[in-house]
Structures are given as C-alpha cells and as structure tokens.
Amino acid sequence: MEKYLYFMEETDGAFDGANDAMCRPLSQFRGFGIVAATTTLELHFDSMLGTGADIAAVDKVVLTVTANKQKEIIQALINLFNAPMIAGDGKGMIVVADDSNSVFADSRITACAITVTAAA
C-alpha cells in the first residue's frame, strides 16, 4: 500500500479553483528545496502534466514555515514518510498542509501554495 501526501491551499474550504488541493503518491516525491526566503520550504514532485522531454519539469508545493526551521521540518516530514503503515489504520494519506482546516503535519508549517507545471 502506498502513502499519499495531501495539500490544500485554500482557506475557505471550497474546492472551486484549479489546483486548490493536491494529493500525490509518495513515490512521486523528488525532494526538498530551500528558496531565498527564510520562511519557505519547497517539496518537489514529478510533473503531472509534463512528460518525455519535460522530465525536468516539477510540480511543487511551497510551505510557509517558521523562520529558519527548514531542517527540523524536513526531518519531521521524513519521519512521517518513513513511519510504518498498517493496512486499515487510516495512515495511507498524510496531511502535510491543509490551510482550510488549519491541519499541518508539523506545528512549524503555517500554509502552502501549489504549483502544477504544464508541459513546455
């Protein structure tokens, strides 16, 4: 059984726009990236829309996080990703960031933004 990572960027609870939410298999996760801001952390995934020659394209979720706590958050998320999963325990989906319900995998995560990259 595969684990899935869930993200919701809207705060109004409505699924009324493109990419308001995303649920991706853990197997499509490529890794973390740190951008210039001290309060963000990127999670990169295989592109849903890019194929073939677009292998470099990635979808990403940018988490808003407590300043300079990226390393600790990365460790906490890796621990969740690697935690054993027992069939039927409801842990097949890991809620990383759900802005609408204020549910986050780590208390140092406060929001997310989803970017799906189209094929070039």
pLDDT, tens digit, for every residue of 61-119?
A: 999 999 999 999 999 999 999 988 766 666 689 999 999 999 999 999 999 999 887 65
Q: Are 22 and 11 in contact (CB under 8 A)?
A: no
Count of helix runs (H) and strand runs (E) in the chain:
1, 8
Amino acid of residue 10: E
87/16 Cα distance (integer angstroms) = 32
CA-to-CA distance for 39 and 81, rounded, in angstroms? Answer: 22
CB-based contacts of 2, cutoff 8 Å, min separation 6: 25, 26, 27, 92
* Residue 113, helix vs strand vs coil: strand
54-63: b (≥16 Cβ within 10 Å) or e: eeebbbbbbb
Instruction: Sketch the domain layout of the chain as residue ranges.
Output: 4-115
pLDDT score, position 31: 94
Model confidence, pTM? 0.85
Give dist(CA 15, CA 8) in Å, integer: 9
